[in-house]
Chains A and B, each alone.
Chain A
Amino acid sequence: MSAQLMIEARGLEKSYGAVRVLSGVDLEVERGRVIALLGPNGAGKTTTVRILATLARADAGAARVAGFDVVAERRQVRRRISLTGQYAALDELQTGEENLRMMGRLSGLPGSAARRRAGELLEQFDLAEAGRRTVATFSGGMRRRLDLAASLVGQPSVIFLDEPTTGLDPRSRQAVWQVIGGLATSGVTIFLTTQYLEEADRLADRITVLDGGRVVADGTSEALKRQVAGQRLDLVLADAIAFDEVARQLDGRDVQRDPKRLTIGVPTDGSAAQVRALLDEVDPARRAVARFAVHSATLDDVFLALTGRPADRPSTGDNDNEHEKEPAGV
């Protein structure tokens, strides 16, 4: 028997005015999995999450979350999910504890249970001290933690996290990763979106790459990396002339190029024979390549291979305002 699907989407399409944001997205997530929806700005990540979390309606296609239709059985879905968006959904003028208690009441907990739950969550998220202060006094990392805590008050079985670490400093990002890692071990299903390849690689069992409103790849991080090439050979060139010469030799086979640091990356299977042959080919005079390194391909390489551009460059026809609820005039 196959594991129960907690998220199931077929042919999701969505346009805002003339801007087509999603053009046929299919997804399947099994219970207890962590899936990362990876893509550049404007790929349609937020729109996908909003449709799955019942906050937006698809123009075409259908989706079921926790076994219920996101349109026809919206109320049932809402009882079983939580959504943490890109912007902290907290009241600045309430204390951490008051925010959590309010969410508890709104999730249907009686007053005393809401208070107990708030206390537990503050404790777990290392906010017990800060819980008595208003959120206005919180740091960015504390807000994110409280925001995550708030999304767990109602004990959801599917958790949507829309770019959970965008805008955080590295230390807070680590803390949030730890929290998400902890959630993952508790058996909930987690659906997160991210622009950071490292984040997807680190947190997710499976990665779905979204680009221009379409799924362009889907699989484990390992499988995706295999899809490109197991390894990457990074060459450090002696000088600018050597850099140009080698770049010409490779004629587009390289996946990474940095003229300032004089580095070029080439896919390889990592075998000594192939590395030797490559070096001989691009540098027959044995002067151009100063140093080299072979390492496992990163998701950056995958992204480049799949979409034809680095992950940090937006797609064409980009809709930068993807996260806005609705463009004016719609």
Chain B
Amino acid sequence: MSDNGPAGSWIGPAPIGTATYPLHLPSRFRSALADAVTMSGRSLRMARRNVDVLLTSLLLPVLIMLLFVYLFGGAIETGTRYVTYVVPGVLLLSAGFGAASTAVSVTTDMTGGIIDRFRSLDVAGASVLAGHVAASVVRNLASTVLVFGVAFLIGFRPSAGPLDWLAAAGILVLFIMAISWLSAAFGLLARSPEAAGGFTFLVMFLPYPSSAFVPIETMPGWLHGFAENQPVTPVIETLRGLLLGLPVGSSPWKALAWSLGILVASVAVSGALFRRRTA
């Protein structure tokens, strides 16, 4: 049988030594990294085309900000203009919301046929998840920029220097990464994309019992302990302090500890879950 026939020339395995498409065998780490880059591109392309999700994740944070500033804001006493107070909270709410959709994407991959194809191509689970997380960070930064833009239009005037901005961006990106990996872990646990969607609610509600929208002192006493010590509060306090030039105290360290803790734990747990799920 000839390998040059019309049917044989295009699909057959190339004879040894004459491969038209040389497959290089890079190190495990390098191929995992390259795969993660490919997967990020994939996730971003799909996110761009998923119009409903895209619109929701871009518009919802802005709408919530307008809601708080113009409807509730007048009744909330924070010591500054309310828009100035509320922007960090809206950023966190939007970050959590955007990151949580990672869970749905991960579950969709895991329950469809595509994960088998990826695995049979020797793509590491870490690369698949890292692709989703990287895309989530980029998506969230886009919605963050939009929130800032609208906030400026309605009177948000931060007094941060370049270094403060940089630090704030760093803290925010780290938090988004942490929540995205946590979502990925939830995505591995969920048995259907609908179930994975439930994770969004948890993350959406977490900023409410914190200093995001109202000062903690105005909450009932029994809630203080939770509100002051939950992960969202130190991140918000840090952002607020950096953007408004206020003293931040120990908040940045607490924010770092929480974010890094969640990140490390989520990466470890999702690694184990991925292995268990694909055993």
Please report A residues at the B interface, Cβ cutoff 8 Å: 50, 53-57, 74-75, 78-79, 81-91, 93-94, 98, 102-103, 105-109, 113, 117, 120-121, 124, 134, 150-152, 154-157, 182-183, 185-188, 325-326, 328, 330
B25 at the interface (CB under 8 A from A): yes
Most buried by A among B19, B26, B112: B112
Bound-state CA distance A25–B114 (Å) is: 27
Q: Which of B42-50, B86-94, B202-210 contacts A (4 or more CB under 8 A)?
A: B42-50
Q: Which residues of B contact A156 (CB under 8 A)?
A: 13
Among B3, B31, B35, the residue within 8 A (CB) of A187 is B3
Q: Which residues of A contact B278 (CB under 8 A)?
A: 55, 325
Closest 8 CB pairs of A and B: A186-B12, A89-B117, A87-B113, A78-B122, A89-B113, A93-B46, A83-B120, A186-B8
B38 at the interface (CB under 8 A from A): yes
B7 touches A108 (CB 8 A): no
A157 touches B38 (CB 8 A): no
Extra 8 A-B pairs, beta carbons < 8 Å, given A105-B38, A121-B10, A187-B3: A78-B119, A79-B122, A89-B114, A91-B46, A93-B45, A105-B34, A108-B26, A154-B121
Bound-state CA distance A53–B41 (Å) is: 27
A82 touches B120 (CB 8 A): yes
Q: Which residues of A contact B38 (CB under 8 A)?
A: 102, 105-106
Q: With A91-B42, A93-B46, A325-B278 given, is the CB distance from A187 to B12 under 8 Å?
A: yes
B7 touches A106 (CB 8 A): no
Interchain Cβ contacts under 8 Å between A and B, 5 examples: A55-B116, A94-B45, A117-B21, A134-B49, A154-B121
B11 at the interface (CB under 8 A from A): yes
A188 touches B117 (CB 8 A): no
Bound-state CA distance A160–B13 (Å) is: 14
B5 at the interface (CB under 8 A from A): yes
Among B14, B25, B117, B279, the residue within 8 A (CB) of A151 is B117
Q: Which residues of A contact B116 (CB under 8 A)?
A: 50, 53, 55, 83, 85, 89
Q: Which residues of B contact A117 (CB under 8 A)?
A: 21
A109 touches B5 (CB 8 A): no
Among B7, B19, B46, the residue within 8 A (CB) of A182 is B7
Q: With A82-B120, A86-B113 given, is the CB distance from A154 to B42 under 8 Å?
A: no
B12 touches A188 (CB 8 A): yes
Please report B residues at the A interface, Cβ cutoff 8 Å: 1, 3, 5, 7-8, 10-14, 19, 21, 23-26, 31, 34-35, 38, 41-42, 45-46, 49-50, 112-114, 116-123, 191, 277-279
Bound-state CA distance A56–B115 (Å) is: 13
Which residue of chain A is the closest to B19 with respect to CB atoms?
A155
A186 touches B123 (CB 8 A): no
Q: Which residues of A contact B3 (CB under 8 A)?
A: 186-187
A91 touches B23 (CB 8 A): no
Q: With A57-B279, A93-B45, A103-B121 given, is the CB distance from A328 to B10 under 8 Å?
A: no
* Min CB–CB distance B35 → chain A (angstroms): 6
Bound-state CA distance A107–B19 (Å) is: 14
Q: Which residues of B contact A154 (CB under 8 A)?
A: 23, 121
Q: Which residues of B contact A105 (CB under 8 A)?
A: 34-35, 38
Bound-state CA distance A102–B118 (Å) is: 10
Q: Which residues of A contact B35 (CB under 8 A)?
A: 105-106
* Min CB–CB distance A122 → chain B (angstroms): 11
* Min CB–CB distance A105 → chain B (angstroms): 4
* Min CB–CB distance A180 → chain B (angstroms): 11
* Min CB–CB distance A214 → chain B (angstroms): 24
B114 touches A188 (CB 8 A): no
Q: Which residues of B contact A88 (CB under 8 A)?
A: 113
Most buried by B among A106, A151, A325: A106
Bound-state CA distance A79–B121 (Å) is: 7
Bound-state CA distance A328–B189 (Å) is: 11
* Min CB–CB distance A37 → chain B (angstroms): 17
Bound-state CA distance A103–B114 (Å) is: 11
Bound-state CA distance A182–B114 (Å) is: 25
Bound-state CA distance A152–B8 (Å) is: 13
B13 touches A124 (CB 8 A): no
Most buried by A among B5, B34, B119, B278: B119
Q: Which residues of A contact B46 (CB under 8 A)?
A: 91, 93-94
Q: With A88-B113, A89-B116, A150-B117 given, is the CB distance from A120 to B123 under 8 Å?
A: no
Q: With A89-B113, A107-B23, A156-B13 given, is the CB distance from A75 to B45 under 8 Å?
A: no
Bound-state CA distance A81–B119 (Å) is: 11
Q: Which residues of B contact A85 (CB under 8 A)?
A: 113, 116-117
Q: Which residues of B contact A84 (CB under 8 A)?
A: 117
Among A75, A151, A182, the residue within 8 A (CB) of B122 is A75
Bound-state CA distance A81–B3 (Å) is: 19
Bound-state CA distance A90–B31 (Å) is: 21
* Min CB–CB distance B88 → chain A (angstroms): 33
